[in-house]
Structure 1
Amino acid sequence: MIKPIKLTDTQRMRVEEMKRMTPQEWDALCKNCGICCLYKASTGNQVVYLSKCCKYLNKDTKQCEIYADRLTHRGSCCEKVTLNVVLDGELVPRTCEYVEYIYGPAPEQINLDWSMVTKHEPGTPMTPKDFIQESVLWNHR
């Protein structure tokens, strides 16, 4: 469900543009940062990113190894980044290109130390040490 957010005329225009995008145009917006492939926990208006990523993320290229089949592949943890997900503002960071397309550049960019991130095997429990050191938090709108 889309949260009611007061959008400017320009932001509303961008949302309408995104609604009309083809899948190829939508995918072309992605800057392949890989952050959406990190496991995360949501608490109110903050998202805490864990130091575990999807087992199909190539950490060097930030590309999904099963991209074409990511939404149907058994064992994949991927969820499609839709306009509703972007407008909800909790599952993707403020630095996500889809979010920036609507709201403009994020006030600060995030530089994640990928050496701290390990691949997660589904079914394996998470522990407190899986939280990224110093709790990387992003406040959303």
Structure 2
Amino acid sequence: MEPFWKTKSLQQMTRSEWESLCDGCAKCCLHKLIDDDEQDQMVDTNVMSDSEQLHFTSVACQFLNDKKCECTVYPERTTLVPSCVQLTQDNLDQVFYMPSSCSYRRLQEGRGLPSWHPLLHKGKKSKMHQAGMSVRGKVVFDNLVEEQQYEDFIVVWPLQDVD
């Protein structure tokens, strides 16, 4: 029998199936900056025009457990951090900043789950960490860095996508 992610569209998945697709890399917990040509500066925002460029930083939300790559306040995350977005089937198209390695994005683009995905390894994240696809050991927390300094923490490793 084929696994649900091969037989169902993202829209057809139950909430439980949808949640299990998250690979737990925690790249979505990183602050992202947008090159704003008009203001000649980097801005932390959730809106981007075609002429702007997205940059990932190694600055993570203070509520991230960087060892487990899990949110420590998951049920309350959108209340405690208003800029935290709950990814759903309905807003996936609008959440432009998901990295190319994101399982939701990969499935939406027809690329399937990556070989390191926890669903392919009995729910364990060890292959993902070994492949360098998570934020484990790579971040500093936003409660320790001034927002004006985020530009000093721009990184390219979140854009890596290995299969």
Assess same fold via TM > 0.5.
yes
Identify the residue that residue 101 of structure 1 maps to in structure 2: 107
- Give the SS at the match of 1:70: helix
Q: Deviations over 1:86-141 (max 9, x none)?
A: 3246210111000111220599x864664341010299323231222xx45749xx
Match of 1:37 among 29, 37, 62: 29
Evaluate the alpha carbon distance shift between residue 70 and residue 113 of structure 1 in structure 2; reply closer, same or farther with a 3 A threshold.
Answer: closer
- Give the SS at the match of 2:17: helix
What amino acid is the match of 2:26? G
Alignment partner of 1:68 is 2:71: no
Could you say what the CA RMSD is over the residues aligned between the two structures, in angstroms? 3.3
Q: Deviations over 1:50-94 (max 9, x none)?
A: 12000011111100001122122x346421123355324621011
Identify the residue that residue 57 of structure 1 maps to in structure 2: 64
Q: Is the 8 A contact 1:47 1:90 kept in 2?
A: no
The alignment of Structure 1 onto Structure 2 pairs a total of residues equal to 121
Q: Is the 8 A contact 2:10 2:18 kept in 1?
A: yes
Identify the residue that residue 82 of structure 1 maps to in structure 2: 88
Evaluate the alpha carbon distance shift between residue 33 and residue 137 of structure 1 in structure 2; reply closer, same or farther with a 3 A threshold.
Answer: closer
Stretch moving more, 48-57 or 20-29:
20-29
Any unmatched runs of 5+ in structure 2?
Answer: 1-5, 36-49, 115-130
| C-alpha distance in structure 2 between counterparts of 1:69 and 1:94, whole Å | 27
- Report percent identity of matched pairs: 22
